[in-house]
Amino acid sequence: MSRMYNPAHPGEVLREWLPEGMTVTEAAKALQISRVTLSKVLNAKAGITAGMALRLSAWLETTPDMWLGMQTQWDLWQAEQQPRPTIKPIDRQVA
Amino acid sequence: MSRMYNPAHPGEVLREWLPEGMTVTEAAKALQISRVTLSKVLNAKAGITAGMALRLSAWLETTPDMWLGMQTQWDLWQAEQQPRPTIKPIDRQVA
DNA sequence: ATAAGTGTTAATTAACAGGCTACAATTTTT
DNA sequence: AAAAATTGTAGCCTGTTAATTAACACTTAT
């Protein structure tokens, strides 16, 4: 199945969840990670890891699956853009 | 949210999708990866990547999300077992 | 003008996917 | 039965990437 549109990077979505005017430094402190790490995520220079998803969900009161799911969709879309081998569906001897 | 039970590693699930008696070598050939790589996945020595999920879905006629979703759940459960920092939910000035 | 703070890049470390080689164990062939 | 081929996994190596700290350019406050 191919995704029609380039899904947003989770970091881009995360931006919208940060309160207007909150600095990267403040958010990083709340998440107990370095501001460098958060900056990279926000600028799509790094993805959402399971540990990061847990932190985000605790802080923003969402599910970790939401964040990891976004990352998954992004990873999948990226992989789909790469040249891929032709794989013949398995033959299961239906009858 | 905590997952009650240790989810199966995707490689464990993959085992059940392989036709009875099919060798790792044959399956790897169909997936166009090395038998070493497939062996590692089956033995939970490596996870499912986006590229792997695309191969599996093409071969087994499933969705890539199914495989990546399993990996996500597994990763999350692993991360939840680790010691985690206490993160206070953001205060959004509700009123 | 100095000092403190902000966001990003650079450099380093750790973890991990994937490949190839090697090897023990099994299976097949002769 | 002996030899040859095949199978699955462990070891080693490479490339990628998440995370940290240090360093940087830039802004704001004193």
Q: How far apart are CA B60 and CA A90, in angstroms?
A: 6
Mutate to test the interface with A, among B78, B87, B88 (most CBs of A within 10 A): B87
Q: Give B61→chain A minimum CA distance, Å.
A: 6
| Closest listed residue to residue B28, CA positions, set B1, B46, B5, B6 | B46
C-alpha distances (whole Å) from A62 to each of A50, A55, B17, B90, B91 are 14, 10, 33, 11, 14
Which nucleotides in chain C have some atom under 7 angstroms from a protein Cβ? 5-10, 16-22
Do the chains contact at B87 and A55, CB–CB below 8 Å? yes
HEC profile for A38-61?
HHHHHCCCCCCCHHHHHHHHHHHC
- Global model pTM greater than 0.95: no
Transcribe B1-61 into DSSP letters.
---SS-PPPHHHHHHHHSPTT--HHHHHHHHTS-HHHHHHHHTTSS---HHHHHHHHHHHT
- Reported as type and span, the H/E element at residue B71 is helix B64-81
**Residue B12 Cβ under 7 A from any strand D atom:** no
Residue B2's pLDDT is what? 66
Q: Does B65 touch chain A (CB under 8 A)?
A: yes
**Residue B35 Cβ under 7 A from any strand D atom:** yes
Residue A2's pLDDT is what? 66
Q: Give B29→chain A minimum CA distance, Å.
A: 10
Q: Does B2 touch chain A (CB under 8 A)?
A: no
Looking at domain B10-70, its CATH class is mainly alpha
Alpha-carbon dihedral angle through residues B61, B65, B69, B72, given to the nearest 10 degrees: 120
Residue A94's pLDDT is what? 86
Q: Give A70→chain B minimum CA distance, Å.
A: 11
* pLDDT tens, per residue, chain B with 95 residues: 667 889 999 999 999 999 999 999 999 999 999 999 999 999 999 999 999 999 999 999 999 999 999 999 999 999 999 999 999 999 998 88
The domain spans of chain A are: 10-70
Estimate in Å the CA B34 to C1' D22 gap, whole number.
41
**Residue B27 Cβ under 7 A from any strand C atom:** no
**Residue A51 Cβ under 7 A from any strand D atom:** yes
Token pair 């905590």: residue: B2
Structure confidence by residue, pLDDT tens digits, A27-38: 999 999 999 999
Q: Are A58 and A47 in contact (CB under 8 A)?
A: no
Q: How far apart are CA B42 and CA A54, in angstroms?
A: 27
